[in-house]
Chains A and B, each alone.
Chain A
Amino acid sequence: MVKLVFLGKLRGEGRDDLVAPPNVMTLADLKDWLAHCDPALGEALTTMRTQVVLNREIVHDMALPIGDGDEVAFLPPMSGG
């Protein structure tokens, strides 16, 4: 199972508990699947300057494979300090 993490304004009721089906094999598949089951989230992921973190490393290549034991986090624009 791929663990999903949503931060900041991407947090939403039940989103961390979403379980991607086996045909989700890449980060791009995951984003497509999320947009399908939660259109508001899908829109936020495409319109917001969202960064993707795979196993605690920022990644840009959405063709990267994901699978059992991986953790994928979606980070909206940051506002620390």
Chain B
Amino acid sequence: MDIRLAPEPFDPQAEEAAFAAGRRDIGAVVSFTGVCRERTDGEGVGELFLDHYPGFTEKEIARLAADVAARCQCPDIKVIHRVGRLTPGEPIVLVVALSEHRDAAFEAVRLLMDYLKTDAPLWKRETGPNGERWIEPRADDIARRAAAEITDRT
């Protein structure tokens, strides 16, 4: 498991290659890269700021990844999530899953992304032509999380 918060831009392809390098025990490498869009809900985005809680955000993402790894029987997962300021076109998040067969890795990436959208302690603030606004979780993200029957912390 490799969980990291990145205050600077990262190269998803290089990170994925490094994670899978030398692994002869796995037959599948699945990755997802989320990228900062230049428009959200029809509004232009000049800059995105990702707020986080140092020490807690990493711990929670690691907990979510471990939960997904166990549930999907996916032996290894890597997550890199940007924090701080970023601009459209830059990668925000990378999830890579390694598994013996493809189904487990596909499922792990999809499920962990659903988790990250609603349960990772991160807060987005967009700056556009109409000023700054904090982003709330989208209704479809909340619905996907509920559909995934993700275990609650309660």
Partner of A79, one of B53, B59, B122: B122
Contacts of A76 in B (CB 8 A): 123, 134
Contacts of A25 in B (CB 8 A): none
Please determine whether B137 and A11 come into contact, CB atoms closer than 8 angstroms: no
- Determine if A22 is an interface residue (Cβ-Cβ < 8 Å): no
9 extra interface residue pairs, beta carbon distance < 8 Å, beyond A53-B56, A79-B137: A7-B53, A7-B123, A8-B134, A56-B55, A58-B153, A77-B137, A80-B123, A81-B34, A81-B92
Please determine whether A80 and B81 come into contact, CB atoms closer than 8 angstroms: yes
Contact with B along A21-55 (1 / 0, CB 8 A): 00000000000000000000000000000000100
Known: A5-B53, A11-B51. A78 touches B59 (CB 8 A): no
The 4 closest A-B pairs by CB, nearest first: A8-B123, A80-B122, A80-B120, A9-B134
Instruction: Show 11 A/B contacts (Cβ-Cβ < 8 Å), sorted by A.
Output: A9-B134, A56-B55, A73-B53, A76-B123, A77-B136, A79-B124, A80-B120, A80-B123, A81-B92, A81-B117, A81-B141
Contacts of B56 in A (CB 8 A): 53, 56, 73
- Determine if B46 is an interface residue (Cβ-Cβ < 8 Å): no
In the complex, A74 Cα to B55 Cα: how many Å?
15
Please determine whether B93 and A80 come into contact, CB atoms closer than 8 angstroms: yes
Instruction: List the interface of chain B (C-beta within 8 A of A).
Output: 34, 50-53, 55-56, 59, 81, 92-93, 113, 116-125, 134-137, 141, 153-154
Please determine whether B51 and A7 come into contact, CB atoms closer than 8 angstroms: yes
Contacts of B134 in A (CB 8 A): 8-9, 76, 79
Contacts of A58 in B (CB 8 A): 153
In the complex, A5 Cα to B122 Cα: how many Å?
14
